[in-house]
């Protein structure tokens, strides 16, 4: 059920293709909560947090405003019309049971040089791990970053 709600949010399933889902959503219960969780965390991840109490209500209103059309041709046209959110971010948001979503700028390990010495330092003595990680995370031809990024070296 959860994945279907997710698909619905992404517009991959048109409402009319999921009438039973729509009905279940209207009747409340677990799927309604899933629906609002997805949106809550999805919005948070996009940087516009909506933590208002009437969140579910407004979603249901949006749902109600969406007419149910059972004509296949029209269905195809309107397929992605509901919410044009990337499925991916909703998937990221499918961390639905998470109690807390925070914003933290990851402090990449910066080498703090205690002595204020202007004489150059051989990098052989001190591997610049922060640059390495920045390279791995941005350079396109790098499977290693997904599997074993530099700062995860065990």
Partner 1 sequence: MKRFLLAILLVTPIATVHAESEDPWLVLQKAAQAAHDLSYKGVFIYQSGDNIKSVQITHTNSRQGEYARVVVLDGTPREMLSQGGDVVIFSSKNEKVVMEKRRAHNMFPAVLPDDIEYLKTSYKARVGGIERVAGRDGRVVFLDPRDNLRYAYKFWADREYGLLLKSLMLSEQKQMLEQMTFSQVNMLEDQGMDWFHPNVDHDKHYILEEASAQPIDEVSGWAIGTLPVGYRKVEQLTRLVPGKPAPVTQVIFTDGLASVSLFIEPLSKGIRPKIGQTSKGTTNFYANVSKGYQILVVGEVPAATVAQIGSAVSFNDK
Positions touching partner 1 (CB under 8 A) are: 2-3, 6-7, 12, 44-45, 86-89, 91-92, 94-108, 110, 112-113, 115-124, 126-128, 130-132, 134-135, 137-149, 152, 154
Distance CA 15, CA 13 (A): 6
Minimum CB–partner distance for residue 48 and partner 1 (Å): 13
Q: Smaller CB distance to partner 1: residue 65 or 99?
A: 99
Asked if 58 and 43 count as a contact pair (C-beta separation under 8 A), the reply is no
Minimum CB–partner distance for residue 142 and partner 1 (Å): 5
- Burial class for 60, CB neighbours closer than 10 Å (0-12, 13-18, 19+): middle
DSSP 18: G
Q: Smaller CB distance to partner 1: residue 50 or 60?
A: 50
Asked if 44 and 117 count as a contact pair (C-beta separation under 8 A), the reply is no
Asked if 90 and 34 count as a contact pair (C-beta separation under 8 A), the reply is no
DSSP 152: G
Minimum CB–partner distance for residue 3 and partner 1 (Å): 5
Minimum CB–partner distance for residue 116 and partner 1 (Å): 6
Minimum CB–partner distance for residue 82 and partner 1 (Å): 15
Asked if 75 and 69 count as a contact pair (C-beta separation under 8 A), the reply is yes
Q: Smaller CB distance to partner 1: residue 65 or 106?
A: 106
């Amino acid at each position: 059920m959860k994945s279907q709600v997710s698909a619905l949010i992404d517009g991959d399933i048109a409402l009319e293709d999921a009438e039973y889902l729509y009905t279940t959503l209207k009747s409340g219960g677990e799927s309604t909560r899933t629906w609002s969780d997805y949106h809550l965390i999805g919005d948070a991840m996009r940087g516009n947090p909506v933590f208002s109490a009437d969140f579910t209500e407004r979603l249901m209103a949006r749902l109600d405003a969406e007419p149910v059309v059972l004509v296949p041709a029209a269905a195809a046209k309107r397929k992605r019309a509901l919410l044009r959110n990337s499925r991916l971010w909703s998937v990221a948001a499918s961390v639905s049971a998470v109690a807390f979503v925070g914003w933290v700028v990851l402090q990449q390990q910066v080498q703090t040089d205690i002595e204020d010495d202007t004489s150059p330092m051989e990098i052989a003595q001190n591997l610049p791990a922060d640059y390495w990680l920045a390279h791995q995370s941005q350079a396109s031809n790098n499977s290693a970053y997904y599997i074993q990024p530099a700062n995860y070296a065990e």
